[in-house]
Amino acid sequence: MMCGSRNTVKKYPEMDKRQVALERADELKSHIKDYLQESRNIPTGLKLEHTFQSKKKQILNYFGATEDDWSSWQWQMRNRISDIDTLSELLNLTGAEARQIEMVSKKFRWSVSPYYLSLMETDNSQCPVRMQGIPSIKELQDCWGKEDPMAEEFTSPAPRITRRYADRLIINVTNQCAMFCRHCQRRRNIGEIDRPAPLDEIKAALQYIRKNSEIRDVLITGGDPLTLSDDWLDWILSELDAIPHVEIKRIGSRTPVTMPQRITQELCDMLERHHPLYLNTHFNHPKEVTAEAMKATRMLAKAGIPLGNQAVLLKGINNNPHVMKKLNHELLKIHVRPYYIFHAKPVKGTTHFITTIQEGLEIMENLRGYTSGLAIPQYIINAPGGGGKTPLLPQYLISMGKDYAMIRTWEGKIFRCSNGI
């Protein structure tokens, strides 16, 4: 069939056209029937609000804390759960689970905010939220992961800088996080003590940016930069604002997911002074899209900050086409645009989360055409050794000649299209 060819347009009476449209609508409905059935059984944070509130009360009672305490991000940081005794009071752990967590903690640090703990199922070790925050013995059974698979140590031309691309770079401003995710790509940097980057190293990073006029885009990351104070962030952003060739700034933060209390009106007022500024966050499962997360993202959106999401494809958590689609739909409800799905990196202690590339491509097959373009992120694999982000797509272009292209649509239909006029 020739795209746009008049010879393919059939003549229908008006009523026949409506019948054709109705039949096509029924065909389209059949394409999402399985998702509509499965999506009813996918837990979402907004639907589980009552359950989360009950868990929150238990945590507040344990700490002898108030609602005002809960709303304070400083309180959330001070009371991160990082010992087995406290965790055992708030989650039901078997003796074997407790012993295994203790074993893992001798090699890999862990810590969970009270808020994020409130999203975990008390009795289910396979809860997709719990799996992201609570150590697993599988972390010690990893035989092939690498400490630094992205070779960041070899792409750092100045302190705190990672540069893999021509016109943009990263400043790593801290090793602190509200929660140390079990799939973290920089767990080698976590250490045992929270340490914001020293001032002299940040100044050296800024000086590198000043001297390289091709840098137009700077990503502030960590750790989590939103664990820094408003004043510290304000100073860094102001320094970047003063560099003429820096066109945009970005912040990479998981606090809207793990500690949404950090998004205060004071923070938003400060960030609003530094436009153009973007924020990418990191929701991995629909259960993480909660009422408190929505309050945080709406505050950021009201401050004029575009929000994107960088999910990581994780075995047992979101490596399911229906779950990933549901996540993307929930994100759009809270003003967050799905941006990337990252194929998990082979970081030491995390490889039990790695899926096959085929699973990622299957997810993309079940998004394109089956939902709106706003809900379709790019599927990305990072080339080994710091080679950079590489997009992966199902194969839609079958072949191409000088004056034609053979394409496959999202429904698997084959068309011959004109290549040019």
CA 372 to chain centre: 19
The residue-averaged pLDDT of 180-192 equals 85
Residue 387's pLDDT band (boundaries 50, 70, 90)?
confident
Give the model confidence (pLDDT) of 109-141 as tens digits: 999 999 999 999 999 999 999 999 999 999 999
Confidence (pLDDT) at 8? 54
Higher pLDDT among residues 315 and 15, named by residue? 315
What is the token pair recorded at 116? 């994020």
The residue-averaged pLDDT of 206-210 equals 98
Strands of 414-418's sheet in order across? 397-400, 404-408, 414-418
Confidence (pLDDT) at 190? 81
What integer best gives the mean pLDDT of the chain?
94
Give the model confidence (pLDDT) of 30-80 as tens digits: 999 999 999 999 999 999 999 999 999 999 999 999 999 999 999 999 999
- For the ranges 85-94, 99-108, 146-155, the lowest mean pLDDT is seen at 146-155
The residue-averaged pLDDT of 273-293 equals 98
CA dist., res. 313 & res. 382, Å (int):
13
Give the model confidence (pLDDT) of 235-268 as tens digits: 999 999 999 999 999 999 999 999 999 999 999 9
Confidence (pLDDT) at 335? 98
Q: Indicate whether 3 pLDDT > 70.
A: no
Query: CA torsion sign, 333 to 336 to 337 to 343?
Result: negative
The residue-averaged pLDDT of 95-105 equals 96
DSSP 1-22: -BTT-GGG-----HHHHHHHHH
Q: Indicate whether 325 pLDDT > 80.
A: yes
Confidence (pLDDT) at 6? 43
Q: Indicate whether 5 pLDDT > 60.
A: no
Residue 105's pLDDT band (boundaries 50, 70, 90)?
very high
Domains and CATH numbers, the chain: 1-29+393-421 (no CATH), 49-135 (no CATH), 152-392 (3.20.20.70)
The residue-averaged pLDDT of 332-337 equals 98
Q: Indicate whether 1 pLDDT > 80.
A: no
% of the chain exceeding 90 in pLDDT: 88
The residue-averaged pLDDT of 386-409 equals 93
The CA distances from residue 316 to 262, 313, 319, in Å, are: 29, 9, 6
Please answer whether residues 362 and 321 qualify as being in contact, where contact means their C-beta atoms are separated by less than 8 angstroms.
yes
Which residues are CB-contacts of 146 (< 8 A; sequence separation ≥ 6)? 346, 347, 348
Please answer whether residues 226 and 262 qualify as being in contact, where contact means their C-beta atoms are separated by less than 8 angstroms.
yes
Q: Indicate whether 328 pLDDT > 50.
A: yes
